[in-house]
Structure 1
Amino acid sequence: MYSVLQSVHSYWAFLVLIVLAIAAINAVIKTLGDKEYQATDFRKALFTLIVTHIQLLIGLILYFVSPRLQLFAELGMGGVMKDALNRLYLVEHPVINIIAVALITIGYSKHKKKLTSKAKFKLIAIFYSIGLVLLLSRIPWGVWLS
């Protein structure tokens, strides 16, 4: 079960990054171009939110069934923090990615309350872009791409 979840989490991450990049770039371009907010823009933002939340759920399940989680009991927090790879998988990756998903959620929620197109696009551009940067910063690239 663990290896299946790990594969799903890895492949779903590609979808998350692509969709999030599209939504963020779309919002930046339309903010700078003074475009009108349309139904397709709402769908892009919503689909991005849904895809990132699914990835979060998969990641949380994977985290709690991971054999690495036992390292907290074996090594303690200090031992986990001394090893860069264990720290990445057990602390940095989950915490930073939860923050990224929270920011994406906040951006989506706040943009719905705005009345002007520019304000809607600006919020999506800011929060989704920060979320994208955070996600990109904590991906275990060496393991993920091999």
Structure 2
Amino acid sequence: MYTFLKYLHSGLRYAVLLLVVAAIIGALLGWIGKKTYTEGNRKLNLFAFISAHTQLLVGLILYFISPLVQFSGATMKDATARYWTVEHITMMIIAIALITVGYLRSKKVLVPEKKHFNIFIFYLLAVIIVIVTLILSGRGVLGMSV
């Protein structure tokens, strides 16, 4: 089960990244171009939101079954154990929280430009956090070392 979930979590990152980046681009174009907030915008933002939360759910399951996560006094002294036990999960939860806030705020406002603006800012901040966190892992953004 661990191996399956690890590969699922690894593969889902591409779908999440693609959907969130597409939502950011759509929101930027909608915000700058003062475009209406279409049903297509809503669906793209929702799919990005759902994919990010699915990734979080798989990640949380992995967190509790992974051999890389260690709950001991030595965790903070070992860079790899600290990264997987503390840093990765903390930053990813913050990123998902930003996506959630952006999506929910965009649903509440009535002005289309503000809907686009909320998605753009919050999803962009989330992607920046994810990229920085993945670079810190030493594995790079797409699983390749930088």
User: TM-score when scaled to structure 2?
Assistant: 0.90
Q: Report the equivalent of 1:127.
A: 122
Higher relative contact order (CA 8 A, sep 6+): 1
Unpaired stretches in structure 1, ≥5 consecutive residues: none
Q: Report the equivalent of 1:41.
A: 41
> What is the distance in 2 between the residues matched to 1:24 and 1:83?
36
**CA offset digits 1:2-37 (Å, max 9, x no partner):** 111101000001111111111011101211111111
- Greater helix share, 1 or 2? 1
Q: Secondary structure at the match of 1:57?
A: helix
Q: Percent identity?
A: 40
Unpaired stretches in structure 2, ≥5 consecutive residues: none
> What is the distance in 1 between the residues matched to 2:17 and 2:138?
13
How many pairs were matched up? Answer: 141
> What is the distance in 2 between the residues matched to 1:141 and 1:116?
42
Tell me which of 123, 134, 137 is aligned to 2:132: 137
**CA offset digits 1:35-92 (Å, max 9, x no partner):** 11100000011000000000000000001011233x323xx1xx22222222211111
Q: Report the equivalent of 1:95.
A: 90
User: TM-score when scaled to structure 1?
Assistant: 0.90
Regions of 4+ moved over 3 Å: none
Q: Report the equivalent of 2:9.
A: 9
> What is the distance in 2 between the residues matched to 1:84 and 1:126?
31
